[in-house]
Amino acid sequence: MEQSSSIEEKRVEFRFQTKPGKDVFIAGAFNNWNPRETKLEEKESGVYTAALQLTVRHEYKFVVDDVWHIDPENPETAPNPFGSMNSAITVD
């Protein structure tokens, strides 16, 4: 009998608000901290969103016009090796 040890992924929606017409991305452990891989879509003027399938705990930051930002809507943070903070999310 084959047992599955996979952890179920859950859909997580990320949201970032800034000025309209910006390039907004999300970078984290889920995409090897690539600042240009996962682009958020501008759903309404200045509100950008992306839905990702994630498991367990992830640290992340938003990248707006090449400037890194923590998530202002998420109080959970973790220190990073660069002397600043990352946002963190735990998926249960």
Q: What domains appear along the chain, each with residue ranges and CATH number? A: 10-90 (2.60.40.10)
pLDDT digits (tens, 9 = 90+) for 8-54: 889 999 999 999 999 999 999 899 999 999 999 999 999 999 999 99
pTM: 0.88
Can you give the pLDDT at residue 92? 79
Of 24, 82, 26, 92, the residue nearest 59 (C-alpha): 26
